[in-house]
Amino acid sequence: MKNFTMILRAALMVTVIGAVGCRSMQTPAVKSYLDKSKATDVYACLAISKDYLSKVFMDPMDKLNNLETAIDAAEKARTLQPDLPEASYYLGYGMSLKGVVFRDEAKISLGMTYYKNAITKKPAMAGPGYLPPLPFMIAVIKMNSKLNRITDDHAIQLLEEAIKNSPEFAPAHFELSKIYRRQKKYELALQQARVAAELAPNEGVIQKELGLLYGNYIEDRNELVFEAAAKKGIEALKAAVKLNPKDPEIHEALGFYYGVLGMFELKAFEMDTAIGIKPTGSNSFELGNTYLAMGHIDKARTAYLQAVKTDPALTKAKGLSGYCDYLENRFDKACSEFGRYAEDQSLKELNRKLWYYYALWGNGKKPNGDEILSRFSNAFTGNDWERALLDFHLSRIDETQLLSKAKTRFEQCEALYYIGCRYRHEGDKNRAESYFRKALDTRIYSFYEYAGARILLKSLSQGSANQKDEKFLPGKS
């Protein structure tokens, strides 16, 4: 609603300042003009009609009076010059909006007929310098109405009609994009958002939406395009951040994309900036992820704890502190942390269970880990890949079978990491290192598995150089 209002006002302001030049018609000059219009000034009538129509949105408290005045002035103009398309345009516009207010479909339809006839005679009226396209206005008002809400299909129909006559009206493309996004038709949403962003390069809200839409390619783990999508998302958000530098969501999303590309310093900077503007559990959590990916475990742990403190309901942050402990070979502490959430029904992610499993293994309690996984397996509802991963840890399939099931880079990253973890706990350092390296080669920078592989590889390398770390190798403990 906030976005809509902003776009709508932006659209209206073009009209108001561009051609009429006044928001309110209550000034003495305007009153005098109104009086004059009672005589013969057809253009004054049109100006008044237009102004009052604009005022409907600027001052919704008095919308009925404003609509009535707009309609009266347009009718007066029509009486003075019946063939003037502008008069039909404003009359149709006012009638339709009044129909929307009173939920009178016949009036809406009649108004639309006037409007359509007018823009057929003078197509320029569907373009800049005039009011937003009428079908667009009807669509957005009805979409935001509690009592008179229209279906998405009806709204799409109206918005497409608006676009047909006014292809350069960015808000119509933007609203259409939002509907498609809601319907999870991301390709269509992106297509419309791109057009909107091109038409309104100065609209931070549109640029931001476009930037966020690219995130769906990453959420969907489309390995072919996710890096390109991240770059495109960054470009849109870089434009957005110039327009709205104090919008934390933009910085957060920028950080997210930089993380996808492995640009962790930039991600850290953006997340820090987002927290500086508005600290939330979510952005502290993402900052934690960033530090983890950079190998700054202490900082990551602090950020994760801060995230849970800020937002205790932030499920995804739970257990991350334990993962930090695990990666530092502090298995006791890790078990204790994972144990806190063991019975948390909201925590259904497989990776949390696997981390707990390996922490228990590291702590010499592998049978407990097996039992946890076994219980988890009984109620498991994940997808085929996750099932394969679980089966591997329950020794139902071997590593070759697991790797053969890993079809994407995302799955390969996870498979390689967890195979490496198994070898690590089995004390086969060389194989563990080899698999961690392969996991890093997948360049799935945003995965905990990637961060884990990086940290553990470093830890194993340092362990080779420094014998005192040997004791942390589970096989030798």
Partner 1 sequence: MRLHLYRMVLILILILGMGAGKAAAQENTLFIIPDASGLIQSVKEKGRSSETGALILRSQKQLTVEKNGTIELKSYVCGMIFDDRAASDYSQISLYYNGYFEEIELDFARSIQGNGERLDASRDAIQTRSVSQMGQAKMYTDMKSLAFSIPALGQGAGFEFMVTRKIRPIVGQSWARTLDFNFVLYHSGPVPRVDPVREARLTVIAPTEEKLKYYQRNSSVPPEIKRVKEGLVYTWEMEDIPKLVYEINMPVDDTLLPGVELSSIGDWRDIDQWAHALFSPSIDSSGPILKTALEITKGITDRKGKIKAVFEYIQKNIEYIAADLDRGGYAPHPASQILKNKYGDCKDQTVLFVSMLGALGIEAYPAILNTYPRMEHRLDIPSPYFNHAISYIPNVDGDLWLDTVATIQFPGLLWNSQGRSAFVINGRGGGFKKTPSSGAESNEGEVNFYIKVSGETLSMELDLLAKGAMGDTFKNSLKALEQNQRKAMAQDLLKKMYPSCEIEKVTFSDFSDPNASFKISVRCRIPYAIPSNSRMLNLPFSSMASITFYSTLAGLTPPVDRKADYVMGFVYDIKSQWTYDMTESGFASINLPEAEVMDSEFLRFERQFKEEGRTLRATSKLTLKTTKIPLAKYADFYESTLEILQKSQKTLSFQKREMDHTALALETSLKDKPDDVSSLVALAKQYLKNGKYGEANVLLTKALVLNPDHGESHYFLGIALGHDYKMEEAQKEFETASRLGFIP
Nearest partner of 247 among 46, 3, 18, 453, judged by Cα: 3
Least Å distance, CB 412 to partner 1, is 24
Contact 304, 288 (CB under 8 A): yes
Contact 378, 343 (CB under 8 A): no
Which of 9, 340 has the CB closer to partner 1?
9
Q: Using CB under 8 A, which of the segments 78-86, 137-145, 216-224, 234-242 binds partner 1?
A: 234-242
Least Å distance, CB 90 to partner 1, is 14
Which of 25, 155 has the CB closer to partner 1?
25
Burial (Cβ within 10 Å: 0-12, 13-18, ≥19) of residue 43: middle
CA–CA gap between residue 67 and residue 49 (Å, rounded): 9
Least Å distance, CB 449 to partner 1, is 23
Q: Using CB under 8 A, which of the segments 13-21, 178-186, 392-400, 459-467 binds partner 1?
A: 13-21
The per-residue DSSP string of 205-239 comes to HHHHHHHHHTHHHHHTT-TTTHHHHHHHHHHHHHH
93 to 112: interface string for partner 1, x by CB under 8 A: --------------------
User: What residues contact residue 296 under an 8 Å CB cut-off, 6+ apart?
Assistant: none
Least Å distance, CB 416 to partner 1, is 24
* Total residues in contact with partner 1, by rule CB under 8 A: 46
Helices (H), 204-330: 204-213, 215-219, 226-243, 248-260, 264-277, 281-294, 297-310, 320-327
Instruction: Pick one of 49, 166, 273, 306: the residue that binds partner 1 (CB under 8 A).
Output: 273
* Structural tokens at position 300: 């990551």
Instruction: Pick one of 42, 110, 266, 305: the residue that binds partner 1 (CB under 8 A).
Output: 266
Which of 48, 158 has the CB closer to partner 1?
48
65 is a site residue for partner 1 (CB under 8 A): no
Contact 424, 456 (CB under 8 A): yes
Least Å distance, CB 313 to partner 1, is 29
15 to 44: interface string for partner 1, x by CB under 8 A: -xxx-xxxxxxxxxxx--x---------xx
Least Å distance, CB 195 to partner 1, is 17
Nearest partner of 37 among 26, 28, 49, 27, judged by Cα: 49
Least Å distance, CB 239 to partner 1, is 8
Which of 338, 450 has the CB closer to partner 1?
450
Which of 45, 320 has the CB closer to partner 1?
45
Instruction: Report how many helices (DSSP H) and strands (DSSP E) the chain contains, helices first.
Output: 26, 0
User: What residues contact residue 186 under an 8 Å CB cut-off, 6+ apart?
Assistant: 180, 213, 216, 217
Which of 62, 265 has the CB closer to partner 1?
265
Provide the CA 408 distance to its chain's centre, in angstroms.
24
Cα atoms found within 13 Å of the Cα of residue 118, Cβ hemisphere only = 26
Which of 33, 356 has the CB closer to partner 1?
33
Q: Using CB under 8 A, which of the segments 83-91, 263-271, 327-335, 460-468 binds partner 1?
A: 263-271
Instruction: Pick one of 38, 231, 340, 396: the residue that binds partner 1 (CB under 8 A).
Output: 231
Contact 241, 247 (CB under 8 A): yes
Residues binding partner 1 (CB under 8 A): 6, 9-10, 13-14, 16-18, 20-30, 33, 43-44, 47, 51, 58, 128, 201-202, 204, 231, 238-239, 241-243, 245-246, 251, 258, 263, 265-266, 268-269, 273, 276
